[in-house]
Copies of this chain bind each other. A is one copy, B any other.
Amino acid sequence: MIKPSLPKGFRDHLPAEGHKREFILSAIQDAFHRYGFQKLETPLFESMKTLTEKYGEEGDQLLFKVLRSGDFLQKANQEALQAGDSRALAHSICENGLRYDLTVPLARVVVQHQSDIQFPFRRYQIGPVFRADRPQKGRYRQFTQCDADIVGSSSWVGDAEVLKLYAEVFESLGLKVAIRVNHRKLMQGMLQHLSLSEQSTAVLGALDKMDKIGEKGVYKALIGLGITENVIDEFMAWVKQSDFTIVHNEAMQEGRDRLEKIIKVLGDAVQFDASLARGLDYYTGMVVEVVSSELEFGSIGGGGRYDELTKVFGGQNLPGVGISFGLDRIVDVMDALERWPNESDGKPLILFVHFDEPGMAKGWEYVQKLRCMGIPAELYPDIAKAKKQLKYADQRGFTYVAMLGDDELSSNTIMVKFLDQGSQRSMTFDELLTALNTES
């Protein structure tokens, strides 16, 4: 006997939970379609060489690797094996890993299938991604991302479109959010101004942890990088202010011009946030992060412009911009705020209940007829006590129960119980059909 359990950091979604997820997914998909995004599917596996060095060192460590099938030891790096070097050994016994996000697979796809794609390529993709992170509240090892990206255009229109899409979807879900934007060029220019360009990855990495380690933590981390207090003070003053029009050099000018165009069309829908760094290495322009305005929770969406992402896959470089919705975290926020609409959750309307083989056979006929007409219907599959069958109807939330006892079979009628009204009425199948078509 094996005690059934799931690996840590993974979850099942039973039907009740599944309906909540569907509610959010359909709001997102509807917006994707209206905005002209087309569906792409990529596999869960990518080769390790596609995955590594795209997400920074920390990201590389969070990649799930898949063991080669067959006798993997034959191809193992013998030196690494002797030295007990897990990391080096892993690369020789694992060719493939599980995707870490949907953006790097997209970059691979646009280069690999370049001749079959019309650019600008507007694609959306919805699916699970995997990170070997320490599981905790709101952080799972498998979670669902819903991404929309425009590849092959560097226009401000793309930036504005994905931000507008964010605003629309969260509004339609009834969630108040802050859509925070910054521009990598603005940040890079500021670091250049402070003569910190060479340490920019480390500085941005520290800043990106602000939520976790607080302002003091960031300060300490910057001290640890050997930066003087004066410079840190100026940097911290910059990240805390809200004026993106102050510029000191060309890079900052470029960021400012771009943000101005975006703010012009989006207005109050987005907020400039000079402290927004975003962990992923591949962003080059506008970056965005969405948080709830009603609840401290962390980001429920994020994205940005990546104008050099396809470069590593060779050939012509293609600029891109994209956003991602974190489905699992949006569910958590909707749960915490109890923001679910009060709706039917797609459960079948009617259950046929019976007490013997002839009743079950008659029920089978009726159910098949209803299904053929497009009406969801169910037949209790076993011969069981009425109490048990009615309990099932109640728990599943049926609104009608059609009972087929001896009287009904001999008179060719159906006793219909209206569970929501507590009443019941004998009727013919045609009368039942009329009732179902009127009510539904």
Binding site for B on A (CB under 8 A): 1-7, 10-15, 18-19, 21-22, 33-36, 38-47, 49-50, 61-62, 64-67, 69-74, 81, 84-86, 89-90, 93-96, 98, 108-109, 111-113, 116-120, 122-123, 128, 130, 132, 141-142, 150, 153-155, 157-158, 160-161, 164, 168, 265, 312-314, 346-348, 360-361, 364, 368, 371-372, 374-383, 392, 395-396
Contacts and interface: CB of A to CB of B under 8 A. Distances in A.
Nearest to A345: B38
Which of A72, A86, A116 gathers most chain B CB within 10 Å? Answer: A86
A69 to B, nearest CB: 4
A70 B86 CA distance: 8
A172 to B, nearest CB: 11
A168 B194 CA distance: 69
B41 A18 contact: yes
How many copies of the chain does the oligomer comprise?
2
B43 A11 contact: yes
Contact of A164 (B11, B117, B368, B374): B368
A371 B14 contact: no
Contacts of A72: 86, 90
Contact of A98 (B36, B66, B71, B122): B66
Given A34-B374, A153-B381, A109 B314 contact: no
A329 to B, nearest CB: 16
17 contacts: A1-B312, A2-B314, A12-B112, A13-B42, A14-B109, A14-B117, A18-B38, A22-B39, A33-B376, A34-B375, A64-B69, A66-B67, A71-B86, A118-B392, A155-B381, A157-B364, A168-B371
A158 to B, nearest CB: 5
